[in-house]
Chains A and B, each alone.
Chain A
Amino acid sequence: MNSRIGYIAFNTFREAVRDRVLYNLIAFALLLSGAAILVGEISIDIERLVVVNLGLTAVSLFGVVIAIFIGIGLVSKEIDKRTLYTVLSRPVRRWEFVVGKFFGLTGTLVVNTFFMALGVFLALLYVAHKFEKMDGWVLVALYFIVLQFLMVCALALFFSSFSTPLMSAVFTFALFVIGSLAEDLRGFARITHGLAGWIATAVAYVVPNFSALNVISQVAHGDAVPGRLILYNSVYALLYSTMAISGAVLIFQRRNLK
């Protein structure tokens, strides 16, 4: 990797850490340990289910909130504060800046998710006293959640490259919600005809498909995730992020920095 991208990514990561982003882990730990203890007390035979469902949902939501709130400021904050001037007056290409920012933010989220995942497995151990084979699928669900973060980061960065932070947040959050219902949208597109059908189909292809990345309930029930889905989802998330990032680069390339 281009070393400048690495430096920018590391600086982004360092900024997130010093801005106390990782403090969310404390809230997460409190939530999860509270839930684990509570479920352990009640013991109604669904401890594992509750811990996996609650844990993974929290991992996903915490991460998405972080991705959106840091992601939307990645570019626009640097323009507003004019920190970008002294960066771009160095031998740094604009695309390197965008890509570096993306890696920095996803790196932050990967580290964050790693600690959260650790928490989920500890809680599982606490309520079930041992690991089972099907707990392996929880790892797949966590992997899918990270893929989801990649896409949200890329989208936030994309909007951030031309819009204000507030609008970027609105757009990204809207796409997150729509993307979570993407399969319904695709279904809707399939049973709609005429112009509306065309539009629905086009929209269904452009919005991120988070439905297929959400296997939380499935793994909570101990169901397997097909290997092909893991492959397709990986390729899909990478391509989608690439798409959003290259869009961001195209816009940012010609952006005048006020």
Chain B
Amino acid sequence: MTAAWRVNLAAAVVLLFSMAGVAAMLDAIDRTRSGNAAEESLYLRSPKMLRRLSLGYTGLLADIYWTRAVQYFGEQHHSGTGDFRLLAPLLEITTELDPKLLPAYQFGATFLAPKPPNGAGLPGSALALMRYGIEHNPDQWRLYYNLGFLYYTELKDYAHAAQAFAQGAQLPVTNEFMPILAARMAQHAGEFDTARMLWFTTYQSTKESQIRENAVEHLLALQVDEDVTRLEQVVEKYRLQTGRWPGSMSDLERAGLIHGTPTDPKGHPYRLMAEGRIEVQDPQNIYFITKGLPPGAAPPQPPRQASK
């Protein structure tokens, strides 16, 4: 049936070409509209109105807004503009539609408060979000944890932090670190250990990859900060013993002050600089560090995330 097969062949060719064209056009449309989409999804900013308009399908709508929030943050982070204006409204709508969507609170605690370009720089919104979450989920220790975390890391308000951790520690289901954190807050002791415990708990209590990566980077940075502090103490000790700065790491080793060549968490040896300063080899490689940087250098920031 030649005539019929000619039509089939033509239709198949047209089908394939139009499929390829459709895919290409979709990408082009996406490029034209990136950012625009999230903007548009917020023409209706009143969470209560959205709730009414969802015709009862709040769960699904909450999931959609939650996906939008995560995607929006990822995209903005990737583009490097450091502009996270829409994160707060997106998370507010998400949690208004579904107040029990815990990952949204955790995301908010991690990314709303820090200053740009690591977050939206809105600690007030972050605190309000946590309080709203605790109000609707009073039995979730994670929310108390997030609240305490915010007070400690962003606001340096140790009294409120201690209070939040203590409240969370009393819940029937809680985390073993909560009472310890509460105690630590009260003493303000052991800065590194406390911070480490906080980031570790964050890491442990989430599955969201952006939050996890963020926690890992902070843990690595803490390690570097602690190493550098300790090494500089060793150098000082050497100077007190010998009356001069060590010329190299092996001087310290010969003096029996260290064993082997100390390396940073990424495996690069620390460098001994003039006047006993310790520096990491590649400051751009470890984010969030506050020590071991060349003089005058700003703490490095995570680069535009590698595309996923």
Residues of A within 8 A of B (CB): 93-95, 181, 183-184, 186-188, 190-191, 193, 204-205, 209, 211-212, 217-218, 221, 226, 228-229, 232-233, 235-236, 239-240, 242-243, 246-247, 249-250, 253-254
| B308 contacts A193, C-beta separation under 8 Å | yes
Other-chain contact of A236, B22, B64, B67 (Cβ < 8 Å): B22
Given A239-B18, A246-B18, verify A184-B29 contact (CB < 8 Å). no
Q: How far is the CA of A3 from the CA of B284 in the complex (A)?
A: 69
Chain A residues positioned under 8 Å from B19 (CB to CB): 243
Other-chain contact of A191, B14, B23, B32, B308 (Cβ < 8 Å): B308
Q: How far is the CB of A207 from chain B (nearest CB, A)?
A: 10
| B7 contacts A93, C-beta separation under 8 Å | yes
Q: How far is the CB of B38 from chain A (nearest CB, A)?
A: 9
| A183 contacts B37, C-beta separation under 8 Å | yes
| B18 contacts A243, C-beta separation under 8 Å | yes
Chain A residues positioned under 8 Å from B70 (CB to CB): 191
B26 interface residue (CB < 8 Å to A): yes
Given A184-B64, A250-B11, A250-B12, verify A217-B43 contact (CB < 8 Å). yes
Q: Main SS of chain B's interface residues?
A: helix
A-B contact pairs, 8 of them (CB 8 A): A186-B30, A187-B68, A188-B71, A190-B74, A218-B43, A239-B25, A246-B14, A247-B15
User: Chain A CB within 10 Å — which of B11, B44, B68, B71 has the most?
Assistant: B11
| B8 contacts A236, C-beta separation under 8 Å | no
| B11 contacts A209, C-beta separation under 8 Å | no
B300 interface residue (CB < 8 Å to A): no
Chain A residues positioned under 8 Å from B25 (CB to CB): 232, 235-236, 239
Q: Which residue of A lies closest to B61 (CB)?
A: A181
B240 interface residue (CB < 8 Å to A): no
Q: How far is the CA of A191 from the CA of B14 in the complex (A)?
A: 32
| B11 contacts A187, C-beta separation under 8 Å | no
Given A233-B29, A246-B14, verify A239-B21 contact (CB < 8 Å). yes
B4 interface residue (CB < 8 Å to A): yes
Chain B residues positioned under 8 Å from A193 (CB to CB): 308
| A184 contacts B22, C-beta separation under 8 Å | no
User: Chain B CB within 10 Å — which of A204, A218, A233, A249 has the most?
Assistant: A249
User: Chain B CB within 10 Å — which of A95, A212, A247 has the most?
Assistant: A212
Q: How far is the CA of A225 from the CA of B241 in the complex (A)?
A: 73
Q: How far is the CA of A64 from the CA of B12 in the complex (A)?
A: 28
B40 interface residue (CB < 8 Å to A): yes
| B308 contacts A190, C-beta separation under 8 Å | yes
Other-chain contact of A240, B7, B22, B308 (Cβ < 8 Å): B22
Other-chain contact of B26, A217, A229, A236 (Cβ < 8 Å): A236
Other-chain contact of A221, B11, B23, B43, B67 (Cβ < 8 Å): B43
Q: Which residue of B lies closest to A235 (CB)?
A: B25
Q: Which residue of A lies closest to B5 (CB)?
A: A253
Other-chain contact of A95, B11, B29, B40 (Cβ < 8 Å): B11
Kindly identify, within residues 20 to 60 of chain B, every residue whose CB is under 8 Å from any CB belonging to chain A. 21-23, 25-26, 28-30, 32-33, 37, 40, 43-44
Chain A residues positioned under 8 Å from B43 (CB to CB): 217-218, 221
Q: How far is the CB of A256 from chain B (nearest CB, A)?
A: 13
| B18 contacts A209, C-beta separation under 8 Å | no
Q: Which residue of B lies closest to A93 (CB)?
A: B7
Q: Mark B165-179, 1 if CB is under 8 A from A, else 0.
A: 000000000000000
Q: How far is the CA of A254 from the CA of B8 in the complex (A)?
A: 9
Q: Which residue of B lies closest to A205 (CB)?
A: B23
Chain B residues positioned under 8 Å from A249 (CB to CB): 7, 11
Chain A residues positioned under 8 Å from B68 (CB to CB): 184, 187
Given A193-B308, A246-B11, verify A211-B37 contact (CB < 8 Å). yes
| B37 contacts A209, C-beta separation under 8 Å | no
Q: How far is the CB of A257 from chain B (nearest CB, A)?
A: 14
Q: How far is the CA of A187 from the CA of B71 in the complex (A)?
A: 6
Kindly identify, within residues 55 to 108 of chain B, every residue whose CB is under 8 Å from any CB belonging to chain A. 64, 67-68, 70-71, 74
| B4 contacts A205, C-beta separation under 8 Å | no
Q: How far is the CB of A95 from chain B (nearest CB, A)?
A: 5
Q: How far is the CA of A84 from the CA of B209 in the complex (A)?
A: 57
